[in-house]
A = this chain, B = another copy of it.
Amino acid sequence: MVVTLIGTGNVGTHLLRALQSAGHETVQLQGRTFRCDDVRGEVVIVCVKDDTIAQVAERLKDTKALVVHTSGSVPLTALPCRRRGVLYPMQTFSKTREVNFCEVPVFLEAENAEDMKLLVRLASTLTRHVQQIDSDCRRRLHLAAVLACNFVNHCYDMAAEVLHDCDLPFSTLLPLIDETARKVHQLQPREAQTGPAVRFDQQVILRQEVMLAGREREIYHLMSENIHDYHDKL
């Protein structure tokens, strides 16, 4: 297939590599400078910051190609194009890290069966996990992804800050981090929960809270209360 990809960020970089590995002919354009005339092929993938998708797609109004964005949170209808769709790869992409794209779940949306067929055909060359979901379901999925990935990584980062003070490398935590992730392959997170908050070990909770300051202390407090509440409901 011939595919135009607009954008040079994390998602764009990884998607371009995946398209090329799958043997597609690709044209990569910059979001700021491209013109509609530069577009080649049947599908245009818009990989720009969520806030600028509509504005970039405005310049694609006249193309006959299927225009898709890659965002979890932006509805299909944000694209002011004749043929429109979504190809949302749910993964955390950094430029400095290789990702095995065949393992990335990709969620598709299109307005008609013909365009969906085209998207399924394209996505199936990139990954083994292709699923159709609508805009409302996708925005929930994206929120879940922010919680299970971005917030999780920030918990790692707050832990790294705590370890700075006692000369232990971050890698000390890796066996624990790995087991925490592996565990939810077998148990639901509710059953997998351990630690002072779920045991309601109030002395430990209070001692740990005062080791933190400012916003981290607030986060610690709210997370501990929330863990306790989730388990009180059982």
State the A residues within 8 Å of B (CB): 10, 49-51, 73, 90-94, 96-97, 99, 103-105, 129, 133, 136-137, 139-160, 162-163, 165-168, 170, 172-181, 183-199, 201-204, 207-208, 211-212, 215-216, 218-220, 222-223, 225-227, 229-230
Contact between B96 and A201 (Cβ–Cβ < 8 Å)?
no
Contact between A222 and B219 (Cβ–Cβ < 8 Å)?
yes
Across chains A and B, which 9 residue pairs bring their CB atoms closest together, nearest first? A150-B195, A157-B189, A181-B181, A156-B189, A148-B159, A144-B159, A147-B159, A144-B162, A137-B166
Chain B nearest Cβ from A162, distance in angstroms: 4
Write the chain B residue with the least CB distance to A223.
B151
Contact between A176 and B222 (Cβ–Cβ < 8 Å)?
no
How many of these chains are in the complex?
2
* 20 A-B contacts (beta carbon < 8 Å): A50-B204, A73-B204, A92-B179, A97-B183, A129-B175, A139-B207, A142-B208, A143-B162, A146-B208, A149-B176, A152-B152, A152-B180, A153-B193, A154-B189, A157-B189, A158-B226, A170-B188, A177-B181, A215-B222, A222-B222
Chain B nearest Cβ from A136, distance in angstroms: 7
